Structure 1
Amino acid sequence: MAIMKFGGVDEKVITREEFPLKKAQEVLKNETIAVIGYGIQGPGQSLNLRDNGFRVIVGQRKGGKTWDKAVADGWMTGETLFEIEEAVKRATIIQYLLSDAAQIEVWPRIKSYLTAGKALYFSHGFGITYREKTGIVPPTDIDVILVAPKGSGTSLRRMFLEGRGLNSSYAIFQDATRKALERVIALGIGVGSGYLFETDFKHEVYSDLTGERGTLMGAIQGLLLAQYEVLRENGHTPSEAFNETVEELTQSLMPLFAENGMDWMYANCSTTAQRGALDWMGPFHDATKPVFEKLYKEVASGNEAQRSIDANSKLDYRESLTNELKALHESEMWQVGAVVRKLRPENN
């Protein structure tokens, strides 16, 4: 375990060089890993573990689309693919990768199978951090651990197939066996992490909920839409507004500052762009920081979690969500985006 200095702060980081795949395989050689849920994270994590040589089974509700997807991915009914309760019963490590709402729903059906010495694994701290709201209270004689890849399951799988790794955080909530640390690091390496950095369940979910509602999805969509609307209202064509707002950002600039950092971007653009970016960075920061402070307080108080739980509990939630997503999909900006993507050189 290396101690790395980030912004003057020492953090524990574990790399694949110091904890190679061979060591992870040795740590988990007698374990059976059940991946419960085959939606967002389940496919990527389970397939990466399988390809890395671990003993993996999948637990999923039979008859649904995700069951069929698991079959299509090579999981064999009755051999490596089971109903949820049966998979939990067979496993020594249970990767609980259902959605937060589904975790609450399924928990009463599986908790009796979480017998002494097993490990319960999460990729999101929601269920444990807000356990007084979710009812997810694990037995005291099992390990409770977390590996949270910093990206979607699709990205995790794609990067694995490219020979790369997606960075992940790890945490231990409960160490009943005194093997929780080795277990969680071995699993983190097994699912395809680039490196692993230490956190705890509370900080993972606070940062995750803030990020999803902030720069990863909510804030970025709000910023993009605001700029697009201003350009359109001032006579710019849809194509020009979209290219200047989204296409240049995602196709040209993001790959560059992902590789080299925003400081490098500032140092390697025109003097006109530098001057404007430096001048306007402050007003945007000052305008948005109060929103982020309010968002974080709502997350930390549990209000944001409760809103999510309440929304998912409504009988018409799926219908309402479908309508909201449909409106986003049919908005002018993203309809223009669909056309622009088709015109990219790789698609012609």
Structure 2
Amino acid sequence: MKVKVGLRENSASIALAEVSGFSRENGTLGEMYEVISESDLSILLISDAAQAENKERIFEAMRPGSTLGLSHGFLLGYLKNIGEYFPSNINVIAVCPKGMGPSVRRLYEQGKEINGAGINSSFAIARDLNGKATDYALGWAIAIGSPTIFHTTLESEYKSDIFGERGILLGAIHGIVESLYRWFMSHAYSPEEAYVYSVESITGPISKIISQHGIVAVYESLEKTDRETFKKAYLAAYHPVMEILREIYDEVTSGNEIRSAIAASNRHKNYPLSKIDGTSMWQTGIQIRANRNSNRIPIHPVTAGIYIATMMAQVNLLKEKGHSYSEIANESIIEAVDSLNPYMHHKGIAFMVDNCSITARIGARKWAPRFDYILSQQTFNALDSHFSVDEYVFKEFLTDEIHQVLAVCSQLRPPIAISVTE
């Protein structure tokens, strides 16, 4: 099998491809549409907005009977918005890794030495002309070193993925820690303490416990008094964050969020996205990470309660909307604690928001302030006053089926943690 890289003329990535051994001389490097026209399988890894902008040329370049490979279902969502679908003469498959491109590569390289190292992926078949599309997708997943693969549909994938990155994976966690930082500061904590109790608590011990022992284990790790504080924070946050999550899901399923992302990408051609890590909070984080003792990061029960309430609200909403448990667990929990949060712990949540995909960056920046505002407006006011707790909601948390799902998933967990050395 020959693997060939197709790039735009004068692409800055040409030199990088050549360093990795691809070249025009040996037939492994060429212009994008030229490569598509001669390929049996074209894996489309350009940005979501670029896929929407260039879809006609891409479809025209594909040979009848060839296969289009997608790493995300955004293009399907865009086609639905304009009343179109994929050409009828090609296979359409997807393999969607649950993490960033650098994670896929580093775990693949680790897998050369450690059996089972790799990142989770979902796969989907949008069109199967010859009865072999599933084989193609599974082969592709194995080829990128994905040891655990679960089936979904392309529509379910793009809905849960776009929703998830605006929810607990990026947008929500960003809004949560920004609001928590200010709340701790308003309660006489120092900037350093506020950062540790908000950001470090989530990306460090909370994520580690969820990854290794499950969600309820965070609650069970607390002392009795802290458990009561956790419970109060959980119940003060659950309904407010569910309100925002429902709005996000509606915006994704209606196509509005896809239209918004494309419009924002067009605006950013003239007004590039600025970085968000220059505020005092994130500058404090630089010093905290430089002097960190990972064994001494505390779990604050308010932080844990709010974060887990948001995670559980996302789980329950996806369940209500008919998503499979494999997808729910990966898009709401596993991708967070095993893929994205370790990067956030390594370089900060702001760094992640500044360096993820364009669609995710746009979504996180758009929705993080909504989480920030509703927590500040409702949750923290409730915490600082007396409110009636909803015992039924907390009982549902303790007995939710997602805990059994995670117990099964833990048996498939890769033998090593994600590499974040760069």
TM-score by length of structure 2 reads 0.64
Q: Secondary structure at the match of 1:194?
A: coil
2: distance between equivalents of 1:98 and 1:75? Answer: 18
Q: Secondary structure at the match of 1:216?
A: coil
Deviations 1:199-239 (A, max 9, x none): 11111111011111110111110000000012223332221
Is the strand fraction higher in 1 or 2? 1
Of 82, 88, 95, which residue of structure 1 is paired with 2:43? Answer: 95
Aligned residue in 1 for 2:230: 277
CA contact (8 A) 1:127 1:134 kept: no
> What residue identity is the alignment partner of 2:183?
V
Structure 1 range deviating more: 131-140 or 88-97? 131-140
Give the superposed CA RMSD.
2.1
Deviations 1:53-109 (A, max 9, x none): xx3111112433322332333322443221101211221100011111111233233
Q: Secondary structure at the match of 2:86?
A: coil
CA contact (8 A) 1:127 1:136 kept: no
For 1:282-301, list aligned pairs within 5 A. Answer: 282-301=235-254
> What residue identity is the alignment partner of 1:121?
G
* Structure 1 gap ranges (5+): 1-31, 33-54
- Change in 2 beyond 3 A, CA 1:184/1:136: farther
- Change in 2 beyond 3 A, CA 1:188/1:112: same
CA contact (8 A) 1:114 1:139 kept: no
Aligned residue in 2 for 1:67: 14
> What residue identity is the alignment partner of 2:292?
R
Aligned residue in 1 for 2:309: none
Structure 1 range deviating more: 294-303 or 57-66? 57-66
> What residue identity is the alignment partner of 2:52?
I
Deviation at 1:135, TM superposition (A): 8.2
2: distance between equivalents of 1:173 and 1:209? Answer: 18
Is the helix fraction higher in 1 or 2? 2
Aligned residue in 2 for 1:108: 56
Of 178, 186, 190, which residue of structure 2 is paired with 1:225? Answer: 178
CA contact (8 A) 1:129 1:201 kept: no
> Is 1:308 the equivalent of 2:261?
yes
Of 129, 147, 163, which residue of structure 1 is paired with 2:95? Answer: 147
Aligned residue in 2 for 1:172: 125
Deviations 1:238-268 (A, max 9, x none): 2111111112321222122111111122222
2: distance between equivalents of 1:69 and 1:341? Answer: 31
Deviations 1:106-154 (A, max 9, x none): 3233322211221101111111232044687432121101111111111
For 1:1-348, list aligned pairs within 5 A. Answer: 55-78=2-25, 79-133=27-81, 137-163=85-111, 164-314=117-267, 317-323=268-274, 326=275, 328-344=276-292
1: distance between equivalents of 2:68 and 2:232? Answer: 49
TM-score by length of structure 1 reads 0.77
* Structure 2 gap ranges (5+): 112-116, 295-345, 347-422
CA contact (8 A) 1:145 1:172 kept: yes
- Matched-pair identity in %: 32
- Change in 2 beyond 3 A, CA 1:111/1:72: same
1: distance between equivalents of 2:182 and 2:174? Answer: 12
Residues paired across the two proteins, number: 289
Structure 1 range deviating more: 89-98 or 263-272? 263-272
CA contact (8 A) 1:104 1:135 kept: no
